[in-house]
Amino acid sequence: MWADDAALGAAGRRLDEWESSLAERAARAKTLSARMQELTGTAHNNDRTIDVTVECSGLLIGLRLDERIRQQPAARTAQQILETTRAARTDLLRQVRELTVEFLGDDASAQAIIDSYRSRLAGDQGSSDADR
């Protein structure tokens, strides 16, 4: 009977440890989610005439154009805005990757979160830009 009691006790301890581990991981995931909502990505073009900020989902929330922008064709300005927005999303993805690994480690669930953000942020730009 003692062996059965010992095995039962060991199984109970393993279940308690597993439950504690799940609770801790859930708390870290909740904190990660809240922190992700606060992230923004930023970038500027080479001559610093364009600054872009995107929020956590990659949407543009800030755009600054220097007056020097008036000295170039509108099509060039539009292209630079798109390129700079992609760079800001790349910055955001970098932050998502760092924060996710910090909170969850480098396991399959963390990689799934990063991959999900990568595909959402890549949109029409392709995954190679988001990997930079």
Q: What's the fold here for domain 39-126?
A: Ybab; Chain: A; (3.30.1310)
Amino acid at 103: F
Q: How confident is the model at residue 92 (pLDDT cuts 50, 70, 90)?
A: very high
- Domain spans of the chain, in order of start: 1-38, 39-126
Widest Cα–Cα separation across the chain: 89
As a whole-number percent, the residues of the chain with pLDDT over 70 amount to 90
Select the more confidently predicted residue: 48 or 4: 48
Q: Which helix (H) or strand (E) holds 68?
A: none
pTM of the model: 0.77
